[in-house]
A and B are shown apart, each in its own frame.
Chain A
Amino acid sequence: MAPVLVLWLAVSLSGTWAVDKGNFKTCDQSSFCKRQRALKPGESPYRALLETMELTNTRLTLQLINDNNKVRLLLELYRLQGNITRVKINELKPLKLRYEVPDVLIRDPPTEPLSLLSQDENGVVLSLGAESQRVIVSARPFRLDIMEGREVLMSLNSRGLLAFEHLRMRKDTFSYKVTSTVASVWDNIKRVFSSSQADPEAEKKEETDPAKQAETAKEEEEKVEDGMWEETFKSHSDSKPNGPSAVSLDFSLPGVEHVYGIPEHADTLRLKTTENGDPYRLYNLDVFQYELYNPMALYGAVPVMLAHNAQRTTGIFWLNAAETWVDISSNTAGKTVFGKMLDYVQGSSETPQTDVRWISESGIIDVFIMLGPTPKDVFAQYASLTGTQAFPPLAAVGYHQCRWNYNDQEDVTSVDAGFDEHDIPYDYIWLDIEHTDGKRYFTWDPHKFASPKEMLQGLMDKKRKMVAIVDPHIKVDTNYKIHNEIRSRSFYIKNKDGGDYEGWCWPGSAGYPDFTRADMRDWWASMFAYDQYEGSMENLYTWNDMNEPSVFNGPEVTMHKDALHGAWEHRDVHNLYGFYVQMATAEGLIQRSGGVERPFVLTRAFFAGSQRYGAVWTGDNAAEWDHLKVSIPMCLSLGLVGISFCGADVGGFFKSPSTELLVRWYQTGAYQPFFRAHAHLDTPRREPWLFGPENTALIREAVRQRYTLLPYWYQQFYHAHRTGQPIMRPLWVEYPEDPATFALDDEFLIGRDLLVHPVTEEGARGVTAYLPGKDEVWFDVHTFQKHNGAQNLYIPVTISSIPVFQRGGSIIPRKIRVRRSSSCMMHDPYTLYVALNPQRTAEGELYIDDGHTFNYEKEFIHRRLSFANNLLSSVNLAPDAQFSTRSWIERIVILGASKPSKVILKTDDGQESQLEFDFDSSMSVLTLRKPGMNAGVDWNVMLQ
């Protein structure tokens, strides 16, 4: 949802159908971004004071000095386990503490020893362990180069854009004058004191040029610019009591032409250079009717960028929760293919290089350099820092039916019945804000939802579930328990003057609980207890919307940056708010079941680490073909930075889709991780059966394809949870050496074995899919037609087509008995689809657990299925785990097979039996009839 109904917004839109860009800042309108961007590449004023270097077993520290203003910074350098280098830069003696992001890292990252390789007056060289990886710290000017062998992998401050706006006293106030005098006296004392220990030569250097020093100091003094101590945007003013506090650093990536990540932006998968426009912005915002293909900020922010070329993948994780802008430039951008060729022929080509620059409004520089070298290594490295995707209940991987709003219990009942009448499966029905009593979350409208438990029981009887929305803005109303408790505990965020911050949102005047407080989060979690949240039951789950936070009457529709979270300004923590809301909510759902049940929480705002708490969706999109298209790169980008459980509103939130668009969206959504239809309050109803029997059948078929593949999807979630690998993957992740895949974002992989190229063009007659992999084959999952890899394949399509291919060499389990919800399919048998590669082998897995509790940590079935030498076998990958299933293997379909004369099944009890089979020679498909063994036991099938 979005602040749609707010009149002043509506008026300002004046009929045009797009985001009102004027409501959101450009870099020029954000004073720190403007200041920092004005700084051009050149020689850095920073110098490393090598004499201050301290090297312990776990870290190196070193002071940096800015020769212009003599402010000193402290550099910390760590080598972390798993080929990660952490670089931290803070003021050596900040006037007050600067914010360091807590709670995002899952632990203090374990370090590995650094060793000094060499040192001279120009710098030091440190070893990063094996693989001849080194960090070179250059002193004058300061820069860091990370090398492997003779190759530079990444350089920091090579363009001299390290900038650190040190905290200072405001000069036009009395207190400044007093304090600065005291401070300078104190400085002198310190200097005298420290000089007795420090390198005398360095000290001398500093003093040799007093004239210059005075001059630069003067220059500094004069550089008080507009927007340093106060800034206004539209009618909002930001008091900025701490003054300028921005940090910035540049990274050079030699040999890199493709960078990805830093969601959330409605843009292509491959990030663009930003020289001719604004940088990519990371600042969680409720953007009404967002526009596509631009760098504007959206609802969530993950400050992680991946860099890739055919040899190596690396990543940069910039751990800062303040407003952040990312500039990208490249020495090859803008060069035509011909130009590049010419360079090559003439041999004059410089190495392609991408330069990146991060700018944040406050906090410190804390950056994790993930050195790969493979994409999978980078995912693992990032997962070791921020954790992996939460393992959702199986049902959450099914289909979700949402609308703003299902009007009342009767409406819910009739929509539920509609799914049965039209034989379309679904697992969750959703209630948006109108279900509450006057937008008071944790309550129910007394007329429309008078007996929620009755309604929930009705759904439970059908093994279905519900999600109800709980937003973080709390109606200011002394008759509302939640509000009273938060106020009495003083849990609200405070405004700059110390009173409770109040903003305008759905309920009218609202307070915003301070989710950055652990005690507040504990209390919030306790509100989900069955005896606290009246009308809730175990099949009720939660949706956190508007948690950017959205403040209708705030600057850029969000909170004032000078609002206070205890000692910290909102400025420091902004991008973390939504992360904490989902964290506290997920914790509530866990606690209410005594820690037994897995939670399911959907969030709109997110940050690095949000993957640990549930699902995200791409917010308030629109019923337009381009929005359908962009759902692919948007979710791919999120997957690359750990957030796998991603989806877009099927059908488009705003406006009303054409029937064709709706059908195509279902077909696409059925193959994306989070599969939910949603619609705006003002749009006509669009339950799947409202568009005539033909379209109902098309939608039913798309949803059913999803349900048949649930075992595979669930297995992908299990993997994502265990390893941090994305579920929905760009092709280059699996084919990192094939440049043809590097910019593809109209097709994607699910796991590594399914390739999907949804139809996203209106009136399409065909699509061209790139099938990767030299010497690989791909099987059309619908026709079993075999295609060679490393080709662009034209696929003619009709309205019923969903081009999906299974990789030769893979085994995919399905449950083809589609029932009305995933829980109803719990005990159903499996069909194994074995797709042979040219070497006539295949591998796959089978994962089974109870589908909803945390018992999966010990109780599950995980088997390796492999086919080689005409033998298909199932072996236990987790012999210590305990779980038994009623499911069995009902059918085995082998694609690319030849006809056997006989097929023998051997089970673990030593019994042998002959299997009946069917061979389709035109497609080379061998179907083994009803082998019948339990899915959890050892067995093998021999083709003779």
Chain B
Amino acid sequence: MMTCQTPYILLLLCVGVSAVEVQRPRGVPLSKRQFYEENKPFTCLDGSRTIPFDRVNDDYCDCQDSSDEPGTAACPNGSFHCTNAGFRPGFIPSSRINDGICDCCDTTDEYNSGAACQNTCREMGRKERESLQKMAEITKEGFLLKQQLIQEAKRGLEDKKAKHSDVQISKKDLENMVEALRTVKETAEQPEKEAKERHLKAWEDQKAVIQMEKDKARMTEVFPELDDDADGFVSVAELLSHSELDPDSDGSFTEAEAQGLLGGVDQVDAVTFESVWNNIKEKYISESNADTPAPVETPTEEIREPASDNDSEQYPEDDIPDEEEEEEEEEEEEDDDQDEGDYKSPPTTQTQEKKDDDDEGTMPPYEQETQNLIDAAQKARDAFDETEKALREVDDQIKNLEKEISFDFGPSAEFAYLYSQCYELTTSEYTYRLCPFNRVSQKPKFGGSETNLGTWGHWAGPEDNIYSLMKYEHGTGCWQGPNRSTMIKVTCGKETVLVSTSEPSRCEYLMEFISPAVCQEPPNPDSALHGHEEL
């Protein structure tokens, strides 16, 4: 192999080369020259038949394997060899011979079409050498950087492993502490609970008495209201004027139903009414406010917030355990999408009851003794919660460390430096953000919400180069289409940068990402640069 050192020599050489080429039939590569011996019968390369040599390149296809027409377009699957002196030799399908389009940079494919082709091999060769050289430099530097990255990753991994064992120890300590504090808490909570129950029972009893009296008073008011003809009896007919009392609420309040409410008789006096009242008091609408609609469907939105506020104040011993409540709060922080009202709002009927309760006043404050017990228990709870929280944090830390330690960051962990980094690329419309091993997203440049283009899936390169492609999947769904996904093509470079993005198919993105981590060890620099010319 020789190299054209100066343009002058190259020119001479190339002229010389083409003079030599005349010796073999058009379109035949040097490697197959021996099969095409002039003036000897030609045997198709598949051995299928032998033809006179003048039928080689005679513009008629005789061989099934197309080998008799290397220099014409006569055979369907033939290929034509261009020497391309000054550049790289190559093959083109023989259907591109003399089709009026310049394919070979040395113009040899258009020898009879009238196409005005320019020999561009030297220029292309120069450009290719330049770019190869540039590439080689980049690869070289990139590969050096990669070595650093590998070292860093190694150190990082060791650090993490060390940290992992440290944290394991503090976890043990915390676990012990949590157990101790749990005992303290439970010991303090037992007397607190008993004291509170006593207090509550007293209050409930008192409330029941008040409620009964109210009920009775209301009944006394209602009887004359119902007794339209003031005969001292409430009759079926009189009851029927109150359609809201319809027991099955089917829109038709029948006499039989009314009679049922009256206990099977046609009318009742004030005394018997007492038992009737219990059946209808929930539904009854006083005639004095009959024109205001019954608050059956209170708009929940309006009531929700204040109602739940009352809730926590009024019932300090709320039956949701504190622990669970805290978890839910965390969840809420994590998941923005979840509707805030979902678990906070009590059913509407409860709201109703609470309104009634309001009428009956609020529970009297605890006595000092009870309050002291509550305070003590609260203190124990707080201490326990705090320690437990610390334990959970340590657990998370361990989990994260373990994940990172076991993560596939490449054969030498050279991709580890990308972990928890993000890279952005801004196009005319969007800002794209790649957080390697986490997610890819897209945000409109001029306002609008972010779209998830996929979360880390797996390495997806071909078997021999699996770390050349990253796949991010299960992004935001497309209308009538798949969930968005992104392929990241990683190529060698000195910097770490996101260079391009496209959407070849709807919702399937393709991005190019440069990183030293994929730079391969450069081969012997001389052989990389040269050796592409057939001379």
Residues of A within 8 A of B (CB): 4, 10, 407, 410-411, 423, 447, 461-463, 681-685, 816-820, 823-825, 828, 890-891, 929-930
Contact = CB atoms under 8 A, between A and B. Distances in A.
A828 B73 CA distance: 9
A463 B100 CA distance: 8
A253 to B, nearest CB: 45
Contacts of B95: 423, 817-820, 824
Given A407-B502, A819-B99, A447 B428 contact: yes
A828 B98 CA distance: 10
A890 B75 CA distance: 12
B481 A682 contact: yes
Contacts of B59: 890, 930
Given A407-B502, A423-B93, A682-B479, 13 more contacts: A4-B480, A407-B503, A684-B482, A684-B506, A685-B508, A816-B76, A818-B76, A819-B95, A820-B96, A820-B99, A820-B101, A824-B101, A890-B59
B74 interface: yes
A536 B26 CA distance: 40
Contact of A682 (B60, B428, B478): B478
B295 interface: no
A462 B506 CA distance: 28
Summarize A's interface: helix, strand, loop or mixed: loop
A817 B76 contact: yes
A315 B184 CA distance: 101
17 contacts: A4-B480, A10-B480, A407-B502, A411-B504, A423-B95, A681-B506, A682-B507, A683-B481, A683-B505, A684-B482, A817-B76, A819-B95, A820-B96, A823-B100, A824-B95, A890-B60, A891-B60
Contact of A929 (B60, B428, B505): B60
Contact of B96 (A407, A447, A819): A819
B504 A685 contact: yes
A816 B60 CA distance: 12
Given A816-B76, A929-B60, A685 B505 contact: yes
Question: 4 nearest interchain CB pairs?
Answer: A824-B99, A682-B481, A685-B505, A930-B60
A682 B478 CA distance: 8
A461 B74 contact: no
A819 B428 contact: no
Contacts of B96: 819-820
Contacts of A423: 93, 95
Interface centre among A819, A823, A891 (most CB of B within 10 A): A819
Q: A463, A684, A823 — which one has the most chain B CB atoms within 10 A of its CB? A: A684
A503 B428 CA distance: 30
Contact of A824 (B58, B76, B100, B482): B100
Interface SS of chain B: helix, strand, loop or mixed? Answer: loop
B506 A817 contact: no
Contacts of A930: 58-60
Contacts of B504: 407, 411, 685
Contacts of B479: 10, 682
A10 B480 CA distance: 10
Nearest to A10: B479
A410 B501 CA distance: 12
Contacts of B428: 447
A890 B76 contact: no
A682 B481 CA distance: 6
B215 to A, nearest CB: 51
A420 to B, nearest CB: 8
A395 to B, nearest CB: 14
A818 B97 CA distance: 11
Contacts of A828: 73
B73 A819 contact: yes
Nearest to A414: B504
A398 to B, nearest CB: 14
Given A423-B93, A817-B74, A820-B96, A682 B506 contact: yes
Contacts of A820: 95-96, 99, 101
A411 B506 CA distance: 13
A407 B502 CA distance: 9
Contacts of B482: 684
Given A817-B95, A930-B60, A462 B101 contact: yes
Contact of B506 (A461, A683, A818, A825): A683
B264 to A, nearest CB: 51
Contacts of B507: 682
Nearest to A408: B502
B101 A463 contact: yes
A461 B100 CA distance: 9
A303 to B, nearest CB: 35
Contacts of B508: 684-685
A817 B101 contact: no
Interface string B478-503: 11111000000000000000000011
A461 B110 CA distance: 14
A929 B49 CA distance: 15
A86 B233 CA distance: 92
A410 B503 CA distance: 12
B74 A890 contact: yes
A10 B478 CA distance: 13
Nearest to A403: B505
B444 to A, nearest CB: 15
A361 B480 CA distance: 38
A911 to B, nearest CB: 19
A447 B428 CA distance: 8
Interface string B96-117: 1001110000000000000000
Contacts of A681: 506
A394 B508 CA distance: 36
Given A817-B73, A819-B73, A929-B60, A682 B480 contact: yes
Contacts of B503: 407
Contacts of A462: 101
Nearest to A817: B73
A891 B76 CA distance: 14
B241 to A, nearest CB: 43
A410 B481 CA distance: 24
